[in-house]
């Protein structure tokens, strides 16, 4: 747990399309949409995705709008997230409201699960507006952020085959 939290201004739907840094990737899987949803609402991502090193749901089930969780990336950065959309079994969206390190003005994500004839499609959209001091870091890191996102989705696809 961080000893100090830095406030992040919460964002909504508009930000997911207008953010200065936006990353969107999808993966097709043979797993049914219900299985992918179970993964997204559980704790398995930390077992499969090397960049996710901690996940703690701070709200009780059933989850929905207003649910809060902490996600740690690379044992270095923890984001506190509050869900502003929860379409059970299909889609959720959240905004970061606190971070363990400075540098974020706004951050939000959208995760969508769609059934397909052969299984399902998982789409992950990440939207970031860093502070002016952190903007060069995010700009330089953008290829790595995209790579981590693609790797994470690939890890989910591989894991659901097991």
CATH of the domain at 19: 3.30.530.20
Which pLDDT tens digit goes with each residue over 106-144? Answer: 999 999 999 999 999 999 999 999 999 999 999 999 999
**Could you tell me if residue 69 is inside a domain?**
yes
**Could you tell me if residue 145 is inside a domain?**
yes
How many domains is the chain built from? 1
**Could you tell me if residue 1 is inside a domain?**
no
Domain of residue 152 covers 6-160
How far apart are the C-alpha atoms of 97 and 118, rounded to whole Å? 37
pLDDT of res. 57: 96
Q: Is the pLDDT of residue 80 over 90?
A: yes
**Could you tell me if residue 114 is inside a domain?**
yes
pTM of the model: 0.93
Query: Angle at Cα 140 formed by Cα 21 and Cα 99, nearest 5°?
Result: 60
Ranges 2-6, 12-16, 135-139: which has the least confidence: 2-6
**Could you tell me if residue 78 is inside a domain?**
yes
**Could you tell me if residue 147 is inside a domain?**
yes
Which pLDDT tens digit goes with each residue over 20-56? Answer: 999 999 999 999 999 999 999 998 888 888 888 999 9
User: Helix, strand or coil for residue 144?
Assistant: helix
Contact partners, residue 111, CB within 8 Å, separation at least 6: 40, 91, 92, 93, 122, 123, 124, 125
Q: What's the token pair of residue 154?
A: 């690939």
């Amino acid at each position: 747990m961080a000893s100090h939290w830095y406030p992040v201004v919460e964002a909504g739907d508009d930000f997911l399309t207008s953010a200065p840094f936006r990353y969107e990737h999808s993966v097709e899987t043979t797993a049914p949409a219900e299985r992918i949803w179970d993964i997204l609402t559980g704790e398995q991502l930390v077992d499969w995705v090397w960049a996710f090193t901690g996940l703690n749901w701070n709200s009780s089930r059933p989850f929905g709008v207003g649910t809060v969780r902490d996600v740690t990336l690379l044992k270095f950065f923890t984001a506190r997230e509050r869900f502003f959309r929860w379409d059970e079994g299909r889609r959720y969206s959240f905004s970061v409201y606190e971070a363990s390190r400075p540098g974020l003005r706004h951050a939000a994500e959208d995760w969508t699960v769609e059934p397909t004839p052969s299984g399902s499609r998982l789409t992950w959209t990440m939207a970031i507006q860093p502070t002016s001091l952190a903007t060069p870091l995010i700009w330089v890191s953008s290829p790595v952020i995209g790579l981590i996102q693609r790797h994470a989705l690939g890890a989910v696809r591989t894991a659901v085959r097991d």
